[in-house]
Amino acid sequence: MLDMPFSRIIEGLNYSLENVIAPEIESPIAKGQLFAVVEILNQIKGRFDHKFELVVEDIKVSQKALATLIETLSAASVEIPSEYHSNTEAIDLAAMTGEELREKRNQLEIIVSGALDLLDAHRADIPDAQKVEHAVFMQFGATIFRNMLLVGKYRFDKITQADKKD
Amino acid sequence: MALSDNHQLIAYLARKLGGTDLRITKEWQNMEGWSMETFSLDVEYKKDGATVEQALILRRQPVSGLLEPYDVSTEYRILKALQASKVIVPVAFWYEGDSAVFERPFYIMQKVEGDVHVLEQDPGADFRLVPDDEERVSLANDFIDSLVHIHECDWKALGLGFLGEPGSGKSAALQQVDYWADVIERAGVRSKPLVTLAINWLRENAPETEQVRLIHGDYRIGNFIHQNQHITSILDWEMAHLGDRHEDIAFVLGPLWRSNAPANWVCHLLPEDEFLEKYEQKSGLKVDREKLKYFDLLLSLKAVGIMSTAANSFAQNKTPDLKPAAFGSILDLAYAGLAQHLNERLSSC
């Protein structure tokens, strides 16, 4: 979900704040404060985007994984779609907008997944296929760990026990 | 609109209960659940010249959410069927599929008196969810008994074949892999390389199932009602299906319901070795520890499926409810769990 453009996340939050939560608030002061939050979120939504360096890192990892898979599949004489090769070529990432970067990352993930499925389909012809899968996994490992560290402390009990006093 | 103002629902309840002058005297929506909408209703009506008071639970299909696509009738049919078994469940009264009554399909069941344990996120190192040792031992005993009853029940004779018999051999495991792969596909994250690696490994290494059994699918502390030191009802059958019992056992052993004090107890009730030993004793069935590792990975894929569905529900504007959005916002934790188990499996061969 947090892969979505921030503007879309804020639009979704604001819709619920305005149409679901505000009508339930009886205090005019609290309701006014809520609309102030909606207003602020609305004003900042076009000024924020995902951290450039994280998406760039994701793209580089996917390209590296794709190169590993191409090498393995080629060695086993598996026919490789031409788009695999073209997607390992260097990209001028600095020239891309945030939206273009996210699109590129998503496109690369689809290609890497396709290459993994191709490897799986030819497993019998590829010695140590699982070792290659593990190598690809390890290439993504650092980004998965990085994303986990980005997860803030969550308090779902505040949500499910909202009827209890603090 | 308050339920007490819903004339269709009031007329429906009066008709089903065979009473007149029915009033909803108290109502509240339970906040604990993340999926199905649960309402507690106290009703009062006249029947045979007497005034009757009754407490009911209404479970309604949400617009969208973690476990979609929803069909609330499945849970109703499971509860109905299990009433003829040793598994202790609330009495399910009526299912209503006509959305004109209360906007979406729902069913009504008995309100079972007692409490439900609520898991806290940050309770502190010395926190004990069940502080009384005598109560804990008793609950642990009931907890294992109930799991054994679920796994021992004759699901065919109970009429639970509608859940879809997976067939023999590897089919039970493969059916679950396919099910969650489809869920993840619908949620739009099937093309994550991590997910692809996990699905391919699970398909390649699916274990044989010695016998297809009823699987609760969400069996843990927090999903039962207890009173006077005993479990009085097993709840939340939304993910029940037919499959391999090791799936339920691996779920019980999950890290999210381990205790802080004493450290690392299963579902806050007892040590892992003791749980497994007692399950084996009571059921007469061996627990295959290697199989548990397979199901650990499958369950972490399932967690990705549930969380990504929640995220997608928000992303696609399917519901204005922000609870699925909050759940989906920590999807990276589910990926991390999947990565941990996948690393163990890929590096072990």
Domains annotated on chain B, with CATH? 3-110 (3.30.200.20), 133-348 (3.90.1200.10)
- Would you call B194 and A136 a contact, using CB atoms and an 8 Å cutoff? no
Task: Verify cis geometry, omega within 30 degrees of 0, for the bond prior to B324.
Answer: no
Give this prediction's pTM. 0.93
The answer to whether A133 faces chain B, any CB pair under 8 Å, is: yes
Place of tokens 């399910």: B92
Q: How far apart are CA B325 and CA B74, in angstroms?
A: 25
Give the count of Cβ contacts less than 8 A between chain A and B: 125
Segment B239-278, tens digit of pLDDT: 999 999 999 999 999 999 999 888 899 999 999 999 999 9
pLDDT at A163 over 90: no
B169 alpha-carbon distance from chain centroid:
25
B332 to chain A, minimum CA–CA distance in Å?
Answer: 6
Q: Who among A1, A109, A151 is closest to B192 (CB)?
A: A109
A117 to chain B, minimum CA–CA distance in Å?
Answer: 7
A146 to chain B, minimum CA–CA distance in Å?
Answer: 9
Q: How far apart are CA A66 and CA B287, in angstroms?
A: 40
pLDDT band at A108 (very low <50, low <70, confident <90, very high): very high
pLDDT at B51 over 60: yes
Q: What is the pLDDT of residue A164?
A: 65
Place of tokens 């804990």: B136
Q: Who among B200, B201, B339 is closest to A144 (CB)?
A: B339
pLDDT band at B66 (very low <50, low <70, confident <90, very high): confident
Choice among A3-7, A40-44, A86-90, A160-164 with the minimum mean pLDDT: A160-164
The answer to whether A13 faces chain B, any CB pair under 8 Å, is: yes
ipTM score here?
0.91
> What is the average pLDDT value for chain B, to the nearest integer?
94
Segment B188-226, tens digit of pLDDT: 988 899 999 999 999 999 999 999 999 999 999 999 999
The answer to whether A29 faces chain B, any CB pair under 8 Å, is: no
Q: What is the pLDDT of residue A152?
A: 87
Residue B109's φ and ψ, nearest 5 degrees, are -135, 170
Q: Give the residue-averaged pLDDT of B129-154.
A: 96
The answer to whether A41 faces chain B, any CB pair under 8 Å, is: no
pLDDT band at B349 (very low <50, low <70, confident <90, very high): low
Q: Choose, out of A1, A59, A66, the residue to mutate when testing the contact with B (most B CBs < 10 Å).
A: A1
A102 to chain B, minimum CA–CA distance in Å?
Answer: 13
**In the numeric block, which tokens belong to residue B347?**
């590096």
Q: Give the residue-averaged pLDDT of B301-327.
A: 92
3-state secondary structure chain B: CCHHHCHHHHHHHHHHHCCEEEEEEEEEECCCCCCCEEEEEEEEEEECCEEEEEEEEEEECCCCCCCCCCCHHHHHHHHHHHCCCCCCCCCEEEEECCHHHHCCCEEEEECCCCEECCCCCCCCCCCCCCCCHHHHHHHHHHHHHHHHHHHHCCCCCCCHHHHCCCCCECHHHHHHHHHHHHHHHHHCCCCCHHHHHHHHHHHHCCCCECCCEEECCCCCCCCEEEECCEEEEECCCCCCEEECHHHHHHHHCCHHHCCCCCCCCECCCECHHHHHHHHHHHHCCCCCHHHHHHHHHHHHHHHHHHHHHHHHHHHCCCCCCCHHHHHHCCHHHHHHHHHHHHHHHHHHC
